[in-house]
Structure 1
Amino acid sequence: MSIHQPRSGHHLGGPARAPISTTLGRFGWAVVLVVGLLLFEVVHAVYRVTGNVRLIPGLLLVGALTPLVATLAGLYGSSLRPRTSGFLLVAVAAVSGVLSISVAALLEYRTQTRLGELPPLTVAVIEESSKLAVPAIVAVAIRARHPLDGLTVGVCSGAGFAVLETLGYSAQQLVTAHDRLPAVDGTLLDRGLFAPATHVAWTGMAVAGLWLALARRTGRAWLTFVALLALAVTLHTAWDALGSVAAALLLSLASVGALTAVGHALARQEPT
């Protein structure tokens, strides 16, 4: 009598349960979000009781980081799970965030000095272009094999930019507002809710197109990159020009939908 191994996905006594690690990976974004919100509320409550201004940097950091780290956790738990190392992604988020927001601020300052008030299109072009530099260097340095990895790197580049921009706006609120907490809470809430659908999504799709072009080096691939960058700039411009919550929700859905569509299209690409 021969002994046969059970088929994959089943064990003696019924269907196999999903490994705990798989379940945590799938819902890791929710864990990160809940833990981040709890930490934020703890620091918030202690600040209200003590009035200790030294707690404010921690409050801002947790508030700015939580939605974006949850987004990255969701990406890892999705069908588009990246193969890029976690260390590289963290490095891209940190280095690209600092460099891109600095370069964008300098270019916007010089352009505003010459032209006066900046139109939303100019701001969008400057910021979306500045976030491409570090991902382009990474693509050349590691000889990128799959454009889907570029989407992940782009998401991290956009996340780094978004975190620093949120911290900047929050710091501005602290300086200008008399009642600090309500003003800062509003800034963190607004930017936390929409950041994954703005800088993260725009930069993700643009860098995915860039890595595709660098990997294929064909006219069609470069046209795809230009089209995706133009889409990111268009969505960014519309976002800066909007004036209602309904418009923000529609643009958020459009941005996330575009990023998802690009990701699934690139997942079918053959490695080079």
Structure 2
Amino acid sequence: GGIFSMVVTLFLYQFVTFSSTSQIFGVLTLKDSLSIGIVEELGKVLIISYFISQLDVHHVLDGILIGAAVGSGFAAFETAGYIYRANAQLVAVAILRGWSAIGGHLVWAAITGGAIMIVKRDHPFKFSQLLDTRFLVFFVLAVLMHAAWDWNITILGSNYLKLILLIGLAWIVVFVLMNAGLKEISHLKQQSHS
């Protein structure tokens, strides 16, 4: 899933242009960051949707798990690329990517995977379900968190503080989805006993 989502993302990047500030100085504008968030989250969602459809799953927790698997694979390949290009900063990049992985692609994809299942439920997957407001709210939230992650802004002068706050926010959203998934399982359990 990680490889496929990376391939889809690289294809989608063919339709995106970045600002000259980004290309010359490596500084991402808000527009650049939003473009990255949309492209990468969309690439993962398409592959998550494929696996959800093929595995014919029916529960929110299934979607969270599939999303997390795709997101972690994506993150592994992206991190390998960052480390490959890091040169003298290799150790610093590896450490940053390592500790921050708990709140990046894995969690954002888990959010969208769970959101797909909220709209899909027991029905066969259809791409029109991705236009459901219940899915779009979570998808837009994942895109915005991703964009804020990449955007060259800090909180109180610290990029690390920004990342820590975004990790906390992402996990709050995952816990909300996990709670919905556990309630769903509890409801199914009660139905089977009656």
TM range (shorter): 0.7 to 0.9
Point out the more displaced range, 137-146 or 123-132. 137-146
Aligned twin of 2:179: 264
- Give the letter aligned to residue 41 of structure 2: E
Secondary structure in 2 matching 1:155: helix
Q: Which runs of 5+ in 1 are unaligned?
A: 1-95
Q: Does the CA-based 8 Å contact 2:52-2:66 persist in structure 1?
A: no
CA distance in 2, matches of 1:263, 1:122: 28
Conserved 8 A contact 1:136-1:211: no
Whether the 8 Å CA contact 2:67–2:114 is kept in 1: the answer is yes
* Counterpart amino acid of residue 12 in structure 2: L
The corresponding residue for 1:44 is: none
For 1:152, the equivalent position in structure 2 comes to 65
Report 1:96-245 matches (<5 A).
96-112=1-17, 119-173=32-86, 177=87, 179=88, 183-215=89-121, 222-241=132-151, 242-243=153-154, 244-245=159-160
Contact 1:151 1:204 (C-alpha < 8 Å) held by counterparts: yes
Higher helix share: 2
Secondary structure of 2:58's counterpart equals coil
Q: CA deviation at 1:239?
A: 0.9
1:1-58, Cα deviation, whole Å (9 max, x unpaired)? xxxxxxxxxxxxxxxxxxxxxxxxxxxxxxxxxxxxxxxxxxxxxxxxxxxxxxxxxx
Give the aligned residue type for 2:117.
W
- 2:121 is paired with a residue whose SS is helix
Structure 2: runs of 5 or more not aligned: 23-30, 189-194
1 CA distance for matches of 2:118 and 2:58? Answer: 9
Percent identity (aligned): 22
Q: Highest CA radius of gyration, 1 or 2?
A: 1
In 2, are the aligned partners of 1:210 and 1:222 still within 8 Å (CA)? no
In the alignment, which residue of structure 1 is the partner of 2:27? none
Report SS of the residue matched to 1:112.
coil
Structure scoring higher RCO (CA < 8 A, sep ≥ 6) equals 2
Match runs of 1:65-104 below 5 Å: 96-104=1-9
Q: Are 1:151 and 1:208, in contact at CA under 8 Å, matched by a contact in 2?
A: yes
TM-score by length of 2: 0.77
How far does residue 216 in structure 1 lie from its aligned partner after superposition? Answer: 5.2
Aligned pair count reads 167
